[in-house]
């Protein structure tokens, strides 16, 4: 049975001394809202209590990353002077970390923060307090844990230094009252570990009703029971169907029916429930001179009926007037022709990405590269696709650094290859990774097996090519294109055997996407290899290809200047083309894109709507009007289907 809580007498405690809002000078004029939501639970009333609850859980176990972000950016914890630093830490350090699970414990976060320039003061004092408090699994009384939690929150600076609004103040009072009520459970003489105390606290927080302070708003929204005893100018009862009014009463499944019936408990008797419903209705009818009951005639569940108790009143039914059609407003057109300030620097990091974005949509390139507007990175369970790709690149780089040539690869026995590959994969996977528990170790071990087996198969595909040696792998260079200087990183540059200056550019692809047709058109989808090709003279470049290291789809896809440089078969499609001509075309296309970016051409022009926009994080800021776009017929048919 759930513990029964007694109303408690508040205990004196210095951590409860918070100035009431009426005693403070308000930092800004209060806004009177037109409506007021009149009931809920403490968690419903918002962030102060959610922050307190999350901190209580974080003291014991890792916390989910989004909740950590909410704490770092919370005005109830982080001082206003530290908020920018906390946001920087969250976006650029925490979310870039090599984490195998989307959660982090307090100590790991502190050591991460200690290695950065970021002093988030409350985290340090929180850990100091937890360390000082001893083992959280040692049983203590409810009152002890309540006191521990109060001190813990005080160590974290909760609820902050700034003046509290009436709502926030009421929330902190509700929290204190909850802890007081939990302390009354000590009458049972039990000592419990912190985890058990947390479970009870979480349950009570979710179920304790809470009435926020009235703001004297003209519209009050509340459940019927909360309206009893009050008076209004008008009253509207929504969803007045037989399913909702009167609210259903449920008997307690753990108490005997006889006991519940003798105590007249809710749900024990239909007759008494009906009497209570009539009594509530009578009180509501007296609460206002104007009363309206409404309900939807039909919902996804089917046709709806007016509650019989209301139907019995035989009040007249009102016809719902038709919804007025919206008034068209006249639109002022303001020409957007103000020139942008010049590009602060023509040296751009991120390689071909700027050209890829400019080709996809000018506005997206402007927002992401020039304004640096990015969505926050998310961390999923295990390695995500990008991390998998990076680690696979790393393993292959380690492999080719030692093996160097296709001849050496051919001379190795399958067992030698497997052993060496395994070692490279192991090093690549454990690079910058802190394996903190058995789950992490088991996961990484599984990934090692998977990647080793995948790359073993890939090495067979490497043997299909004409002889080569790996010249450069994961090499950083700069490419000049139009007015821009781009920092790029090559996956691999292979030298063809027998010729001193004959190269093949290789780009690893670890997913299904990636096809040479993405290099074509004036708005190429993947301009990376075309961009790299600009670094070679006309005679040097003999081929460029996607190396598709992808389970179930391993192959070479690319262009070559003569047959035999790259494998050709039904699967490995490597067209023979006039590479110098193609490179000249690419140079013109990429130069135009670079100039467009440098000139600030930030037009909202997605290459293919809606595909280009589907995963674009700038969708909320670009104000794209899809009706202004002409969707190609074949795309429209696809969409219709």
Q: How many CB atoms lie within 10 A of CB 544?
A: 29
Residue 183 vs 359, nearer CB to ligand SF4? 359
- Distances 144 to 140, 141, 180 between C-alpha atoms, Å: 6, 5, 11
Least separation in angstroms between CB 615 and ligand SF4: 9
- d(CA 242, CA 329) in angstroms, rounded, equals 42
Residue 368 vs 507, nearer CB to ligand SF4? 368
Binding-site member from 105, 217, 612, 631 for ligand SF4 (CB under 6 A): 612
Q: Looking only at residues 589 through 608 of this chain, which bind ligand SF4 when binding is defined by CB under 6 A? A: 604, 606
Specify the 3-state DSSP secondary structure of 503.
Answer: strand
Residue owning tokens 């440098």: 598
Structure token digits, residue 479:
């490419």
Residue 68 vs 360, nearer CB to ligand SF4? 360
Residue 284 vs 360, nearer CB to ligand SF4? 360
Instruction: Enumerate the β-bridge partners of residue 37.
Output: 221
Q: How many CB atoms lie within 10 A of CB 599?
A: 15
Cα angle: 402, vertex 513, 460; to 5 degrees = 35
Nearest one of 279, 275, 302, 305 to 293, comparing CA atoms: 305
Structure token digits, residue 425:
């994969």
Residues in Cβ contact with 162 at an 8 Å cutoff, skipping those fewer than 6 apart? 27, 75, 80
Residue 183 vs 360, nearer CB to ligand SF4? 360
Q: Looking only at residues 361 through 420 of this chain, which bind ligand SF4 when binding is defined by CB under 6 A? A: 361, 363-364
Q: Helix axis angle, 47-58 relative to 142-155, nearest 10°?
A: 110
Q: Looking only at residues 616 through 635 of this chain, which bind ligand SF4 when binding is defined by CB under 6 A? A: 616, 618-619, 622, 624
Q: Note whether 543 binds ligand SF4 by CB under 6 A.
A: no
Residue 178 vs 365, nearer CB to ligand SF4? 365
Least separation in angstroms between CB 352 and ligand SF4: 17
Residues 409, 455 contacting (CB under 8 angstroms): no
Query: Using CB under 6 A as the criterion, what x/- string covers residues 336-365 for binding ligand SF4?
Result: ------------------------xx-xx-
Least separation in angstroms between CB 310 and ligand SF4: 48
Q: Looking only at residues 480 through 519 of this chain, which bind ligand SF4 when binding is defined by CB under 6 A? A: none
Least separation in angstroms between CB 335 and ligand SF4: 20
Least separation in angstroms between CB 340 and ligand SF4: 16
Least separation in angstroms between CB 616 and ligand SF4: 3
Residues 378, 102 contacting (CB under 8 angstroms): yes
Pick the piece of the chain touching ligand SF4 (CB under 6 A) from 118-126, 257-265, 433-441, 609-617.
609-617
- d(CA 222, CA 237) in angstroms, rounded, equals 10
Structure token digits, residue 498:
């027998």
Residue 568 vs 611, nearer CB to ligand SF4? 611
- d(CA 127, CA 172) in angstroms, rounded, equals 22
Least separation in angstroms between CB 358 and ligand SF4: 11
Residue 215 vs 611, nearer CB to ligand SF4? 611
Least separation in angstroms between CB 363 and ligand SF4: 4
Strands (E), 297-374: 298-299, 302-303, 347-348
Least separation in angstroms between CB 600 and ligand SF4: 15
Q: Looking only at residues 164 through 193 of this chain, which bind ligand SF4 when binding is defined by CB under 6 A? A: none
Residue 360 vs 455, nearer CB to ligand SF4? 360
Q: Looking only at residues 71 through 110 of this chain, which bind ligand SF4 when binding is defined by CB under 6 A? A: none
Structure token digits, residue 503:
């190269």
Residue 514 vs 606, nearer CB to ligand SF4? 606
Least separation in angstroms between CB 619 and ligand SF4: 4
- d(CA 288, CA 299) in angstroms, rounded, equals 29
Q: Looking only at residues 425 through 454 of this chain, which bind ligand SF4 when binding is defined by CB under 6 A? A: none
> Residues touching ligand SF4: how many (CB under 6 A)?
13
Pick the piece of the chain touching ligand SF4 (CB under 6 A) from 305-313, 336-344, 498-506, 615-623.
615-623
Residue 289 vs 626, nearer CB to ligand SF4? 626
Nearest one of 113, 152, 117, 112 to 136, comparing CA atoms: 152
> Residue 492, by phi and psi: left (phi above 0), alpha (psi -120 to 50) or beta?
beta
- The contacts found for 318-322 with CB under 8 angstroms, 24 or more apart, are 318/292
Residues 289, 233 contacting (CB under 8 angstroms): yes
Q: Is the dihedral of CA 587, 588, 594, 598 positive or negative?
A: positive
Least separation in angstroms between CB 529 and ligand SF4: 23
Query: Which residues are near ligand SF4 by CB under 6 A?
Result: 360-361, 363-364, 604, 606, 612-613, 616, 618-619, 622, 624
């Amino acid at each position: 049975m759930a513990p029964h809580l007694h109303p408690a007498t508040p205990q004196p405690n210095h951590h409860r001394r918070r100035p009431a809002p009426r005693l403070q000078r308000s930092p800004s004029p209060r806004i009177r809202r037109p409506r007021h939501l009149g009931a809920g639970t403490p968690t419903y009333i918002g962030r102060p209590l959610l922050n307190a609850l999350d901190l209580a859980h974080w003291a014991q176990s890792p916390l989910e990353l989004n909740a950590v972000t909410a704490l770092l950016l919370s005005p109830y914890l982080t001082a206003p002077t530290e908020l920018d630093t906390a946001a920087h830490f969250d976006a650029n350090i925490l979310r870039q970390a090599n984490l195998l699970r989307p959660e982090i414990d307090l100590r790991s976060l502190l050591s991460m923060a200690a290695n950065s320039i970021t002093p988030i003061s409350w985290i340090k004092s929180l850990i100091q307090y937890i360390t000082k408090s001893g083992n959280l699994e040692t049983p203590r009384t409810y009152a002890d844990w309540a006191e521990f939690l109060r001190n813990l929150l005080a160590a974290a600076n909760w609820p902050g230094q700034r003046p509290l609004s009436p709502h926030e103040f009421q929330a902190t009072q509700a929290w204190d009252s909850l802890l007081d009520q939990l302390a009354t459970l000590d009458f049972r003489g039990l000592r419990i570990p912190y985890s058990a105390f947390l479970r009870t606290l979480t349950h009570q927080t979710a179920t304790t009703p809470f009435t926020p302070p009235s703001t004297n708003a003209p519209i009050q929204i509340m459940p019927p029971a909360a309206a009893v005893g009050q008076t209004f100018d008008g009253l509207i009862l929504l969803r007045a169907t037989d399913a909702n009014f009167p609210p259903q009463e449920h008997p307690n499944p753990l108490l005997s029916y006889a006991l519940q019936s003798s105590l007249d408990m809710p749900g024990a008797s239909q007759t008494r429930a009906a009497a209570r419903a009539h009594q509530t209705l009578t009180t509501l009818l007296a609460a206002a001179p104007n009363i309206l009951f409404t309900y939807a005639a039909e919902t996804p569940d089917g046709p709806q009926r007016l509650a019989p108790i209301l139907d019995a009143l035989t009040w007249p039914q009102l016809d719902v007037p038709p919804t007025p059609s919206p008034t068209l407003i006249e639109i002022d057109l303001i020409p957007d022709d103000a020139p942008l300030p010049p590009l602060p620097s023509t040296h751009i990091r991120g390689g071909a990405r700027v050209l890829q974005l400019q080709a996809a949509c000018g506005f997206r390139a402007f927002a992401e590269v020039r304004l640096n507007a990015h969505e926050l990175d998310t961390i999923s369970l295990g390695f995500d696709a990008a991390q998998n790709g990076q680690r696979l690149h790393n393993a292959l780089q380690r492999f080719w650094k030692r093996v160097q040539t296709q001849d050496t690869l051919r001379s190795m026995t399958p067992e030698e290859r497997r052993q060496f590959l395994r070692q490279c994969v192991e090093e690549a996977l454990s690079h910058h990774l802190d394996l903190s528990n058995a789950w992490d170790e088991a996961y990484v071990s599984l990934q090692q097996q998977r990647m080793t087996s995948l790359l073993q198969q890939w090495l067979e595909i490497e043997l299909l090519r004409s002889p080569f040696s790996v010249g450069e792998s994961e090499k950083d260079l700069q490419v000049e294109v139009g007015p821009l200087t781009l920092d790029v990183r090559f996956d691999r540059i292979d030298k063809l055997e027998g010729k001193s200056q004959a190269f093949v550019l290789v780009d690893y692809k670890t997913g299904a996407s990636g096809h040479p047709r993405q290099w074509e058109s004036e708005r190429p989808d993947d301009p990376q290899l075309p961009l790299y090709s600009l670094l070679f003279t006309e005679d040097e470049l003999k081929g460029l290809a996607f190396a598709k290291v992808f389970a179930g789809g391993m192959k070479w896809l690319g262009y070559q200047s003569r047959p035999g440089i790259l494998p050709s078969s039904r699967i490995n499609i490597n067209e023979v083309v006039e590479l110098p001509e193609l490179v000249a075309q690419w140079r013109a296309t990429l130069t135009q894109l670079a100039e467009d970016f440098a000139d600030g051409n930030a037009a909202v022009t997605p290459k293919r709507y809606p595909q280009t926009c589907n995963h674009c994080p700038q969708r909320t800021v670009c104000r794209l009007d899809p009706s202004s776009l002409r969707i190609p017929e074949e795309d429209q048919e696809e969409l219709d289907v």
